């Protein structure tokens, strides 16, 4: 019997395809890194560290003279598969995954700012994002200004002075307010700001902020990317300059890393994300249209409805209305009764 590891064969290097990959193909194939065992599914690397052929390889690895995994808090093969696949879907140069969406949100700003810097953000945002910007970062000497999502004049006024970062959430959670990404990005870049878009409520399926002028895209991958209630995760996507010169030097030493197991779950989730989000949008659209007809409902806020106050902007930057509906009812008991009986 052979003394070699059973079934292990070094993979021959293959030329990268010179044609454009369909996004649906990228969701299944991008980032795949099979080991010499030729496994059919992506491998799960749970180890904390990695070995080196000799001492020189170790030195070269730790001084970035060669590409080699060092420690799973810095980078991990399974996490890298998820990052590369999500970057391909988003159309981003690079991606860094984190342990949660809020970890991604916090480090997206923390890696950029220092005492004396100024942040401008959309006023309607997820509650924990609001706490980071209005309570935590001010302890570091960071000032901020909040702007109503669709108030162009307010954005123009806010972005007339030097600003380090602009953080916008569109659609917002849970009010589904809309920020015109292209308009705000153009203003922000004139004052030297990095534009970060929380794209959680839209997902990569419905909205591509980088194509609309933003610099960084942020996700809670817990939501649509996993979408099945199994894992917590976050992700940040952007340019080489942002990821490698700003973000990684911060995350490497502060430890918001994603576990390999969660990354493995998410790699498979990406394969079905477009199918899931598309069906959820179809269902949400039908439900929103139905709820608009009910006398028990005061108002329905859904980006896919013609009645949404920012409908014209929505048509410019979103492919569909999303998966969440905002409802104002005469009473909670009435809305529960309406939905239960239909």
3-state secondary structure the chain: CCCCCCCCCCCCCCCCCCCCCCHHHHHHHCCCCCCCCCCCCCCCCCCCECCCCCHHHHHHHHCCCCCCCCECCCCCHHHHHHHHHHHHHHCCCEEEEECCHHHHHHHHHHCCCCCCCEEEEECCCCHHHHHHHHHHHHHHCCEEEEECCCCHHHHHHHCCCCCCEEEEECCCCCCCCCCCHHHHHHHHHHCCCEEEEECCCCHHHHCCHHHHCCCEEEEECHHHHHCCCCCCCEEEEECHHHHHHHHHHHHHHHCCECCHHHHHHHHHHHHHHHHHHHHHHHHHHHHHHHHHCCCCEEEEECCCCCCCCCHHHHHHHCCCCCCCCEEEECCHHHHHHHHHCC
Q: Report the pLDDT value the prediction gives residue 72, as an integer from 0 to 100.
A: 92
The arithmetic mean of pLDDT across residues 280-309, rounded, is 94
Q: Report the pLDDT value the prediction gives residue 316, as an integer from 0 to 100.
A: 97
Using CB atoms within 10 Å of the CB of residue 292, give its burial: 0 to 12 exposed, 13 to 18 middle, 19+ buried: middle
Where do you find CATH 3.90.1150.10 in the chain? 274-340
pLDDT grade for 12, boundaries at 50, 70 and 90: low
pLDDT grade for 1, boundaries at 50, 70 and 90: very low
Q: How many CB atoms lie within 10 A of CB 285?
A: 19
Where do you find CATH 3.40.640.10 in the chain? 61-268
CA 269, CA 82: separation in Å to the nearest integer?
Answer: 10
Q: What percent of the chain has pLDDT over 90?
A: 75
Quick check: 76 pLDDT over 70? yes
Quick check: 239 pLDDT over 70? yes
Q: Does 3.10.450.40 match the CATH number of domain 274-340?
A: no
Q: What percent of the chain has pLDDT over 70?
A: 91
Beta bridge partners of 6: none
The arithmetic mean of pLDDT across residues 20-47, rounded, is 84
Instruction: List, in order, residues 6 or more apart from 47 with CB less than 8 Å away.
Output: 72
Lowest pLDDT segment from 95-109, 232-246, 321-335: 321-335
Q: Report the pLDDT value the prediction gives residue 11, as an integer from 0 to 100.
A: 66
pLDDT grade for 4, boundaries at 50, 70 and 90: low
Q: Report the pLDDT value the prediction gives residue 6, as an integer from 0 to 100.
A: 62
Task: Return the structure tokens found at 104.
Answer: 């991604």
We find that the CATH architecture of domain 61-268 is: 3-Layer(aba) Sandwich (3.40)
pLDDT digits (tens, 9 = 90+) for 202-225: 999 999 999 999 999 999 999 999
Q: Report the pLDDT value the prediction gives residue 27, as an integer from 0 to 100.
A: 84
45 or 331: whose pLDDT is higher? Answer: 45
Quick check: 256 and 232 in contact, CB under 8 A?
A: no
Q: Report the pLDDT value the prediction gives residue 224, as an integer from 0 to 100.
A: 97
CA 27, CA 273: separation in Å to the nearest integer?
Answer: 8
CA 252, CA 73: separation in Å to the nearest integer?
Answer: 7
Quick check: 233 and 83 in contact, CB under 8 A?
A: no
pLDDT digits (tens, 9 = 90+) for 110-150: 999 999 999 999 999 999 999 999 999 999 999 999 999 99
* Averaged pLDDT of the chain: 92
Task: Return the structure tokens found at 306.
Answer: 């013609």
Q: Report the pLDDT value the prediction gives residue 270, as an integer from 0 to 100.
A: 97
Q: Report the pLDDT value the prediction gives residue 189, as an integer from 0 to 100.
A: 98
């Amino acid at each position: 019997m052979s003394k070699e590891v059973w079934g292990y064969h070094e993979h021959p290097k293959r030329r990268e395809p010179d044609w454009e990959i369909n996004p649906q193909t990228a969701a299944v194939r991008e980032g795949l890194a099979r080991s010499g065992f030729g496994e059919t599914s992506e491998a799960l690397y749970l180890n904390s560290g990695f070995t080196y052929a000799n001492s020189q390889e170790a030195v070269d690895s730790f001084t970035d003279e060669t590409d080699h995994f060092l420690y799973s808090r810095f980078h991990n093969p399974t996490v890298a598969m998820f990052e590369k696949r999500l970057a391909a879907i988003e159309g981003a140069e690079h991606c860094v995954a984190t342990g949660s969406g809020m970890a991604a949100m916090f480090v997206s700003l923390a890696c950029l700012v220092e005492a004396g810097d100024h942040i401008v953000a959309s006023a309607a945002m997820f509650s924990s994002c609001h706490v980071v910007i209005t309570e935590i970062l001010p302890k570091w000497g960071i000032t901020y200004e909040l702007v109503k999502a669709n108030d162009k004049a307010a954005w123009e006024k806010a972005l007339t002075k030097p600003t380090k970062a602009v953080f916008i959430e569109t659609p917002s959670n849970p009010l589904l307010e809309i920020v015109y990404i292209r308009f705000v990005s153009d203003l922000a870049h004139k004052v030297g700001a990095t534009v970060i878009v929380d794209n959680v409520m839209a997902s990569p399926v419905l909205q591509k902020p980088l194509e609309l002028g933003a610099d960084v895209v942020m996700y809670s991958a817990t939501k649509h990317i996993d979408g099945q209630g199994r894992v917590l995760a976050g992700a940040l996507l952007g340019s080489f300059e942002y990821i490698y010169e700003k973000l990684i030097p911060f995350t490497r030493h502060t430890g918001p890393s994603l576990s390999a197991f969660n990354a493995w779950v998410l790699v498979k989730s990406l394969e079905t994300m477009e199918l899931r989000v598309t069906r959820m949008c179809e269902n949400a659209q039908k439900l929103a249209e139905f709820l608009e007809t009910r006398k028990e409902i005061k108002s329905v806020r859904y980006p896919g409805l013609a009645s949404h106050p920012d409908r014209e902007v929505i048509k410019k930057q979103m492919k569909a209305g999303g998966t969440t509906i905002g409802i104002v009812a005469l009473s909670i008991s009435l809305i529960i009764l309406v939905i239960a009986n239909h």
